[in-house]
Structure formats: structure tokens, C-alpha cells
Amino acid sequence: MKSFTKALLGLAMLGAAATTHAQNEQFVPMVGYWVGPYAAGGSGIFGGMIDYINMVNARDGGVGGVKLTYEKCETEYNNARGVECYERLKKKGPTGATLVHPLSTGITYSLIEKGTQDKVPIVSIGYGRTDASDGRVFPWVFPLLTNYWSQNTAKIKFIGSKEGGMDKLKGKKIVNIYHDSAYGKETIPVLDAQAKKYGFTVTHIPVPHPGNEQGAQWLQVRQIKPDWVILRGWGVMNPVALKGAAKVGFPRDRIIGVWWSGAEEDTIPAGDAAKGYIAAGFNVAGSNFPVIQDIKKYVYAKGKGEMEDPTRIGSIYYNRGVVHGIVTVEAIRKAQEKYGKKPLTGEQIRWGLENLTISEARLKELGAAGFMQPLKVSCLDHEGGGAVKFQQWDGKEWKVITDWITPDRDLVRPMIEQSAAGYAKEKNITPRDCSKES
Amino acid sequence: MSFFFEVLIGGLLSGVMYSLVALGFVLIYKASGVFNFAQGAMVFFAALTFVGFLEMGVWFWFAFALTLGAMVVLGLATERIVLRPLVNQPQISLFMATIGLTFVLEGLAQLLWGSQPHGLDIGIQDEPLGWISDATGMNISKFDLAAAGIAAALVTSLALFFSRTRIGRALRAVADDHQAALAVGIPLQQIWGIVWTVAGFVALVAGMLWGARNGVQFALTFLALKALPVLILGGFESIPGAIVGGLIIGASEKLAEVYLGPYVGGGIEGWFPYVLALLFLLVRPEGLFGEKHIDRV
């Protein structure tokens, strides 16, 4: 009887220890896509993010001693499934979801109100609703690093530099070939505003989902004879566009893709038709960065790792996932500075995100100098960066051809504030007074 | 005017590519009355398997033979596991089974070969023919012309196979009346197996051409949606109908996108073929070459 009591006591202690251990965890939901038409982007980005999180757990024992955990949920880039995944995972872990990366502009739109109600930060790095950069109206949404409008103005700056100055844009013709979706349409207003400002004409040509037939669109391009084409595609639309351009003889080095059109997965299927093509990026490719080397050392060398094909490590999408991981971990670290080294709630992480600074020096410490741009988020500015680099496909790999190009803030910020104010009015939101935030 | 002809010819050549996918639907519908929703997934499966073998270093034609073998196994397994247990069940049950098959094939293909897009080079460049450009100012793609030639050869061989061979005649008998065909000793299950195998072959050819054109990736499964209006127009049971339907759909969607699109915000080629097909249904429900069904009351 005595030994039975001892055994029971032992079991109870073991259970308590396990519970304590389980409670010292920070849960990050992985609402992503690993199959379906956009799987290449989803598997690469979530692969990089998960590998980074596992590396931080293996190398540092988590963040401030708190182990990071995650669970994957497949959305197939579908809004309804994205919401379902969010609902399923938002209360997981001892403190609920840390934050959510929906990796889809459509899903981000669907989650804005839900995240606000549930107090779960919605982080959309390089996608999502642009006017959410105004943190006064969108306290729970973080389109970090750079938003679509910033990217677009940087792109026009790049085109201007190629033409010999912004004044040379007058009279030029630009065609915007876009994915006919919320994502694709997001930059139409800023392009129109820039056309007015610089005196060029812009023609918007939509491509229906998924974009595997673009003969008519490229014939229209041939008829318009533009000086430049902006390619705002996703998934299969990108290689088909490059092949379409080759078919009508449009030079590829006059096509500027957005960062969702500028990965290896977009150019390799297009073969020779992609040679010379230029695309924007908020991260660069390459596996020589210390952060990637650490992932190889602490994750892959131990027989773990998310990528079935290890040649994808260091690709554009994979490295973008590592950027997602760095931002997530640094936001948790920042929140821990204020709230303590313990599992934190979404509300506490929101503070971490809003006060996040990743300086050049910090990037160097993280082994990511030159890998991504520095970041400084505030209550007023939920973007925190805004710059992009341009890269060119040489037939085998992406070569960076510019330094960080800053956006036209004088144009973008008033548009963001105007659009956010419209949203606030529509939803009856009183914008926060950032001077009172701490 | 030359621009109009360029759009028209480009559309007709795209239409031939749709016909290739539609052919697979027609073959199975002709033999079994089943609308095989999984045809798009079969195209994806075949293309991904083919490119998977190529990337393993297998010689082109050996990879073709291996993939064809895989498609034969797939066709026979579908007949044995999916269709045979559903003999004499309502057509809607068979249709639903093919929807299930679609998801199985999509998942299986990605499980076996991964979800990464792949490039596929079959040795024909998708570039304009220089001498046509010089002579007329129109850009006509070498690749599209070659694809049209391959489609024409495929249709001719299939038409000859169905009209001149014993198996072809048996297949037509099965298509006309299952029970009568069985009564005269035609092995229904064997015929179905052959038809699914031929449909697998057509899927492989379509997958190779579409894969070389757009890259081998998941979006190939959506080709089924492009084939639907082609079938409505051409008739579900007619091989020439698939070709003519493809040509009409291809040309009309491109002309509509270029000439009507700008007035309605563009992006209409995704749904315009369906509008056309629906209008056509009102006039001729059985399609251009479909058989008119007369039921005695």
C-alpha cells in the first residue's frame, strides 16, 4: 500500500512537472499552405519560419527560456479555410496564439476584425491591407517591413533611375498586369496617383485566377507598346506572364515584378523566357548568412528541418520565412522585456510588435546583416521600414542590382492616413492618440 | 486588321490546347457515360510524374514510357477500385466518385513528387516564328503551332482507332447500350480499362504540352475548368466536337478579352466561355456534335 501511495505521488509530481513544462511555452500558429496552387510560396515561407523557430529552440533554449511551439493548419490560400484555421488555433497554448501570419491578403482582410476582437495581432509582412500601416486605426494589424504602396513607389523610383531621372517619366507608358484579386488590385490607387504626379500613363490589365492563360493580355501589351510592365502576379501567373512576354517579344528586362513575383519558383518554370527579368524584394536570396548557417547546424545537421528539398534553403521564399521568424522572435523578446520571461498573451505581444526595433547592429547579432532591412515600428507606423531592393534573374539565380530604395513617403503616408480614416469612419472607430501610448 | 487576326489565331491555337484536355473527358464519357471530373488532376499527375522521372536523370522517352505505365496502372486501378463497385449505380454516384478521385490524385501527386513548380523543356521554343513576323507583322508561336499539329495527329489516330479497330467498335457498342453490348459478349470491364488507359495517355500528352508551356505545377488541375465550356459546345460524346469546341472557345475568349474586356474592367476570359456555353445550351443542349437523345414516353 505504501509503495502504491509512493507511485501515485510520483505520478502526480511527474504530471505537475509536465504541466509546468507545457505551460512555459509560447504558441505560434502556422496558418499556411503546403499544397495547392500556391504551395511553392507557402511551403518555402513557412519552412523558413519553422526552421528558424526550431533553431532558436535548439540553440538558445527558446526565447528567454520560453520554448516556442507551433501547429500547422492548411488553408490552401482559401479565405474560408484561413478563418477556420485561425479559429481552431487562436486559443492553443497556455496563453493562446502569439500572433498570426495569414500569408494571404484575402485571409488578412478576413481576420482584421476577428483579430481585433480576440486580441490576436495579425502580422502581414509584405502583403495585406496597406492602410493598416496607420496603427492608430489598426492597432492589431502589422503590415511590417514594407507595404504594397511603399513597394510601388520604390518601383517607380527604380524605373525613374533607369530612365535617367523622375522627370523623364513624363509621357512614358506603363502597363500594370495584375492578379484579379484583392491582392492584385491593392496597388491600383497608388499607381494612378503616381501617374498623375509624374505624368506617365498607366494601363491596368487584370489576369483571372489562376493565370494559366494570358495570351490576350500580352497581345494587349504588344498593342499598347509600353516602356515598362509591372507584373503583379502570384503562383502560376508569374512564369506564364514571362512566357507570354517572350511570345510577343516584350523585353524581360523591362518587366518589374513585385516581391510575390520574384522567387526562383517564378523564374525556373519559365526557363529562358525569364532571363533578364527584374523583381522587387524585401529580403535577399543566399545561404551564406550566419543565420542560415545556424539553421543548418542546429536543425538540419540533426536530421530535422522542414524542407524536403534542401536545395531550397537560401531561396527567396525560404529566406523570407526566416525574416518572418526573426520578426516573430524579436517581437516576443521585446514583449518579454516589459512583461517578463514567461508565456505572453496576444495583447502583450502586440505591445512588443508596436515597440519593435531591429537595428543594423541587432541584425548583425542575429546573423542577418544585409539579409533584410532594419525595422522600427511605432504606434503611428505599423510598417516600420518601407525600403526594397531590386534583383535580376540571370538564368540561374537572382542577383541584387540595387541598394535599399526608400519609398515616396510624401505620397504614400497621406494616402494611407486618408484610407485609414475612411475605414475608421465606416467602422465607427475612434483612432488612438499615439502620444498617450507607452 | 493584322492585330485582329493575331488575336484570332492566338485564340484558335490556345483552343487546341483546351481541346487536348477536353479529349480525355470525351473518351471516358463516350465509353461509360461518366463525366470524369478527375481529368484535370490526371493531367497534373501525368505531367508531374513525367518531370519527376526526367529530374531523376531518366532518358526522355524512357520517362515517357514509365509515366505512360503509371497512367495505365492508374486507369486500371480506377476501373477496378472506383468504377466497378459502382456499376448500375446512378450516374451522379459515378460523377461524385470522380470528384473524390480528383482530390486523391492531387494529393498523391504532391505526396510523391512535392509541390514545387518545375520547368519542362520538350525541345520546342515558345517564341514567335521569325518568317511569319517578318512577312505579316503577326507573332505566331512555334510551340502553339507544334501543339496544334500534335493535337491534330492525336485526334486523327483516336478517330481511326474508334472507327477502324475491333476495340473501337466494341467501345462504340458499349457507349450505345451497356446491356446490349454485354448481351453480345463484349467485356464491359475490359473496355472501360482500355478507355481509362487511353484517357491516361491523352492526359500525359496534354500534361507535357501544358507543362512545357506554363511550367509543371498544381494549376494544371484547373485546366479541367477550361475544358468544360469546350465540352458543352462540342458535345460530350464527340472527338471532333472537342476540337471544334476548343477552337470556338479559344478564339472567342481571346477576342472578348481584347475587344470587350476594356469596356467592363477586363479579366473576362475566365467567365466569358461559360456565358457562351450557357447561351449555346439554350439553342442546342446536346452540343454541336453531341447525339440528340429521344426518349419514348
Chain B contact probe: residue of A213, A223, A275 with most B CBs at under 10 A: A213
Spatial CA neighbour of B284 closest among B249, B216, B221, B236: B236
Do A323 and A282 meet the contact criterion of CB atoms below 8 Å apart?
yes
A313 touching B, CB under 8 A?
A: no
Asked whether residue B223 is domain-assigned, the answer is: yes
d(CA A305, CA A302): 8
Per-residue pLDDT band for A80 (boundaries 50, 70, 90) equals very high
Spatial CA neighbour of B26 closest among B36, B17, B18: B36
**All three cell numbers of B125:** 521554343
Do A219 and B254 meet the contact criterion of CB atoms below 8 Å apart?
yes
A238 touching B, CB under 8 A?
A: no
The answer for A 273-292 residues in CB contact with B (under 8 A) is 273
Alpha-carbon separation of residue B157 from A202, B138, B161, B162, B198 (angstroms) = 49, 31, 6, 9, 11
Asked whether residue B267 is domain-assigned, the answer is: yes
Q: Do B217 and A216 touch (CB under 8 A)?
A: no
d(CA A92, CA A27): 7
Class of domain A24-147+285-386+416-436: alpha beta
Taking residues A333-350, report their average pLDDT.
97
**All three cell numbers of B190:** 475490359
Spatial CA neighbour of A54 closest among A301, A252, A312, A357: A301
A36 touching B, CB under 8 A?
A: yes
At A41, phi and psi to the nearest 5?
Answer: -70, -45
**All three cell numbers of B133:** 513576323
Spatial CA neighbour of B192 closest among B25, B85, B32, B73: B32
CA torsion through residues A3, A7, A8, A10, sign: positive
Kindly tell me if the per-residue pLDDT of A255 is higher than 60.
yes
Q: How long a stretch of residues is chain A?
A: 438
Kindly tell me if the per-residue pLDDT of A21 is higher than 60.
no
Residues A128-142: pLDDT tens digits?
999 999 999 999 999
Kindly tell me if the per-residue pLDDT of A20 is higher than 50.
no
Chain A contact probe: residue of B1, B122, B254, B269 with most A CBs at under 10 A: B269
A224 touching B, CB under 8 A?
A: no
A58 touching B, CB under 8 A?
A: no
Q: What three-state secondary structure class fits A304?
A: coil
Helices and strands in chain B, H and E counts: 12, 0
ipTM of model: 0.84
Alpha-carbon separation of residue A14 from A3, A7, A65 (angstroms) = 16, 10, 20
B217 touching A, CB under 8 A?
A: yes
User: What pairing do the DSSP bridges indicate for beta strands A389-393 and A228-232?
Assistant: unpaired
Alpha-carbon separation of residue B36 from A122, A143, B223, B281 (angstroms) = 41, 43, 13, 20
Q: What is the pLDDT of residue A14?
A: 46
Per-residue pLDDT band for A19 (boundaries 50, 70, 90) equals very low
Cα Rg of chain A (Å, integer): 23
d(CA A125, CA A133): 11
Q: What three-state secondary structure class fits A25?
A: strand
Asked whether residue B296 is domain-assigned, the answer is: no
DSSP class of residue A433?
-
d(CA A150, CA A146): 6
CA angle A338, A339, A345 (to 5 degrees): 125
Q: A148-163 vs A188-198: helix axis angle to the nearest 10?
A: 30
At B241, phi and psi to the nearest 5?
Answer: -60, -35
User: What pairing do the DSSP bridges indicate for beta strands A255-257 and A228-232?
Assistant: parallel
Residues of chain A contacting B222 with CB distance shorter than 8 Å: 37, 210, 212
Min mean pLDDT across A171-175, A179-183, B189-193 is at B189-193
Residue linked to cell 529530374: B55
Give the start-to-end residue ranges of the domains of chain A.
Answer: 24-147+285-386+416-436, 149-283+391-409
Kindly tell me if the per-residue pLDDT of A395 is higher than 90.
yes
Q: What is the pLDDT of residue B211?
A: 92
Q: What is the pLDDT of residue A18?
A: 44
The CATH code of the domain that includes B11 is 1.10.3470
Q: Shortest CB distance from A223 goes to which of B3, B14, B117?
A: B3
Per-residue pLDDT band for A181 (boundaries 50, 70, 90) equals confident
Q: Do A248 and B139 touch (CB under 8 A)?
A: yes
Per-residue pLDDT of chain B (297 residues; tens, 9 = 90+): 778 888 899 899 989 989 988 988 888 888 777 888 999 999 999 999 999 999 999 999 999 999 999 999 998 898 888 888 887 788 888 889 999 999 999 999 999 998 888 989 888 888 888 888 788 778 888 888 998 899 888 888 888 888 888 888 888 788 777 778 888 888 878 888 888 888 899 999 999 999 998 889 998 998 888 889 999 888 888 888 888 999 999 999 999 998 998 888 888 888 899 999 999 888 888 778 776 766 676
Residues A235-254: pLDDT tens digits?
889 999 999 999 888 999 99
Q: Give the range of the structural domain holding residue B75, as residue numbers without chain letter.
A: 2-283
Residues of chain A contacting B268 with CB distance shorter than 8 Å: 208
The whole model's pTM is what? 0.86
A176 to chain B, minimum CA–CA distance in Å?
12
Q: Does CATH number 3.40.50.2300 belong to domain A149-283+391-409?
A: yes
Q: What is the pLDDT of residue B97?
A: 92
The residue in chain B having the minimum alpha-carbon distance to the alpha carbon of residue A44 is B116
CA angle A274, A278, A283 (to 5 degrees): 115
Same topology between domain A24-147+285-386+416-436 and domain A149-283+391-409: yes
**All three cell numbers of B192:** 472501360
CA torsion through residues A170, A175, A181, A183, sign: negative
- First-to-last alpha carbon distance for chain B, in angstroms, is 53
Element (H, E) at A257: strand A255-257
Q: Do B261 and A243 touch (CB under 8 A)?
A: no
Asked whether residue B297 is domain-assigned, the answer is: no
Based on the structure, what is the number of domains in chain B?
A: 1
Kindly tell me if the per-residue pLDDT of A54 is higher than 90.
yes
Q: What is the pLDDT of residue B293?
A: 66
Q: Shortest CB distance from A270 goes to which of B116, B128, B215?
A: B215
d(CA B67, CA A248): 33
Residue type, A271: G
